[in-house]
Amino acid sequence: RESARTLFLWEGTTNYLSEPAVDATLRWCARAAAGSRLLFTYVHRDILTRPETFFGWQRLFASLERSGERFSFGMDPREVPAYLALRGLELESDEGGAEFRARYYGEAARGLRGHEFYRVALARVRGTAESAPGGPAESAPGGAAGARA
């Protein structure tokens, strides 16, 4: 049913895609019923351009190289609200590693470090497909998965 709200869970994917693939997937998600939600992960753009600013980056990049992977897409958290708005989505929350560790581990999180570049965002569909400038893609590219809520 096109009127049913949907929860899209899109994790561990955006950082391996191209910008056009991320753009098309977000526009596709924005075609869902108003009030639908998209929970997704992304990496801070600086891990691509200034990795030395993040604790443990050498180990991460070595691990990615051993598995034949590399990050290809990231976003600056300050730009995410506008980026999503242009695609028909409204950002509801956006947290990095330190914030979600504090939320779930409390005081124990104070001694934990690493993956501060990794972020979890929740966005809401504002309206119909027409609200996303440029129009949505016909099908979900990049492996987006959806489940009816």
Structure confidence by residue, pLDDT tens digits, 61-84: 999 999 999 999 999 999 999 999
Spatial CA neighbour of 36 closest among 126, 125, 123: 125
Q: How far is CA 127 from CA 5, 14, 42, 132, in A?
A: 11, 23, 23, 9
Whether 146 shows a pLDDT value over 80: the answer reads no
Residue predicted with more confidence, 26 or 141 = 26
Question: Is the Cβ–Cβ distance between 67 and 94 less than 8 Å?
Answer: no
Place 110 in a pLDDT band, splitting at 50, 70 and 90: confident
**Phi/psi of residue 146, each to 5°?**
-130, 150
Query: Cα dihedral angle (50, 53, 58, 60), rounded to 10 degrees?
Result: -90
Whether 96 shows a pLDDT value over 80: the answer reads yes
Whether 93 shows a pLDDT value over 80: the answer reads yes
